[in-house]
Amino acid sequence: MTQATTPAAPPQKSSSTTKILLTCLTLILLCLLAVLGSCFYVAYRAKKKADEIREAYKTGDVDKIARSVGIETTESSKVSQSLDFPDWKPSDGASAKIPVVSGLTAVCAVAQFGGDYQSVMRILNVTPEDVSLSVRADNIPNPLQKGAEGGTVYATRTVRAEDMRTAHELQEWFNPNHPDTFEGTTAVSASREVLSELRNKGETQFTFGLGGLKGLFGSLVNPIGEVLRQTGQQEQAKSMGTPGKATCTLKRVGDVAFPALINLHAQCTADDGVADFYFLDDLDNPAVLAFKLGDSGDAVEVISIAYPFEKPPAKAPTPIAASNIEKQLEEKGKAEVYGIYFDFGSDKMKPESDIVLREIASALDHNPAWRLRVEGHTDNKGADAYNMELSQRRAAAVKKALMTRYHIDESRLTPQGFGATRPKESNDSVAGRARNRRVELVRL
């Protein structure tokens, strides 16, 4: 009898392999959870930091602003005095014309966090397609370290003719690292369309750039917003807006008399308060004459505007008209000159001074019997003796330039410095100090 046998059971797989697989899957899952958690944490911290920066900026306290970005300031790092505009009176007159021509030069008083300074804008070239211009400024204060040495900026910009007609964005801040052209924006004026809508409709949509610490924080907060977008928090990123710009409905307030000009005053409310803009009321050149961005924001005011004095053709039947400086000297016996620019704390003249130097030389050529005293004046920053010596050196530099470049006889020019002893306006304001830094010509 054959005995039946039970078939042998197949060999069992090792349980250790299963345990290894489960362990690996668990580790991978934990890593994924850790990555997701860290992304949400980074996004949370990013939004919190952006909110902290924004709230610090609204306080107007440089120390709080500096701490919000991890910078310690000195005790003297305080917000500079704001640029308070004069009480410009309403006007219904017609504005003077300022032509958009090569050589046009405007001097601006600028108030930002950390201090104030002066900038010089010059139109370099005008073509049917675009306008090229430059801005030069030195002694620009460090907004977080008031005692630090001021910086220097020279930057250029090209504005397309199309944008000068239709753009609704003003990018008025200059940086040498910026591209030469910002399509869809203007630089030192509003567009014809913006001014036309303010005139006819009373309001227009408007976007403007934010400089100073706002510009600095824009470079910090924009990447934070990008972190939020990359982690899927589009709504939170969108709610942060774009810190480097502000968009608003700009509404016409009225027309006011700016020194020798009529400008249109427009106002809007953005995230950080009320912004005021003053445009030259001229559709051919709606130049920005002044603006102030909120109670604690940046402010700029044009102090002087000069452009080349063009003589009529030699065969013109009428006599050649006198330049503005020549008229002042003829009618008043003296002329205030704001178109001569010096490096900070120096008697070295900037290239933008050439226009006015030529105008002075032309006045002397037309009137060979005239002798002039060239007076140098400063604001009250710095010691009295220093200001007196600086003003004397600057007056002497003007005389030397007229002699060497335009061959004016030395005996016709007498330089004299007055330091801060003869202010035109109060030195308590940014614009007042800018107007006190000047050259005057007096007939002898």
Running DSSP on this structure, what letter comes out for residue 8? P
CA distance 264 to 189: 12
Q: For 46-101, what is the HEC assignment?
A: HHHHHHHHHHHHHHCCHHHHHHHCCCCCCCCCCCCCCCCCCCCCECCCCCCCCCCC
pLDDT value of residue 55? 63
DSSP string, 256-290: EEETTEEEEEEEEEETTEEEEEEEES-TT--BEEE
pLDDT value of residue 437? 87
CA quadruple 32, 34, 39, 43: dihedral sign: positive
Q: Which residues contact 366 (CB under 8 A, 6 or more apart)?
A: 320, 322, 326
Pairing of strands 115-126, 413-417: unpaired
Pairing of strands 273-280, 169-170: unpaired
pLDDT value of residue 79? 42
Q: With 0-12 CB in 10 A as exposed, 13-18 as middle and 19+ as buried, what is 376?
A: buried
pLDDT value of residue 30? 67
Tens of pLDDT, residues 152-193: 788 899 999 999 999 999 988 887 777 888 899 999 999 999
Tell me the whole-structure pTM to 2 decimals.
0.67
In this structure, are residues 299 and 113 in contact, taking their beta carbons and an 8 Å threshold? no
Mean pLDDT per block of 10 residues along the chain (444 residues) reads 49 61 70 60 56 58 54 44 65 75 86 76 94 87 56 88 96 81 92 94 89 50 45 46 70 78 73 81 89 74 74 39 78 87 84 87 94 93 90 95 95 95 84 84 95
pLDDT value of residue 107? 83
Residue type, 18: T
Q: With 0-12 CB in 10 A as exposed, 13-18 as middle and 19+ as buried, what is 14?
A: exposed
Per the DSSP assignment, residues forming a β-bridge with 264 are 255, 279
- H helical segments located in 206-332: 212-230, 234-240, 324-332
Tens of pLDDT, residues 80-138: 455 566 677 776 666 678 889 998 888 888 877 666 788 889 999 999 999 999 998 87
Give SS3 for 131: strand
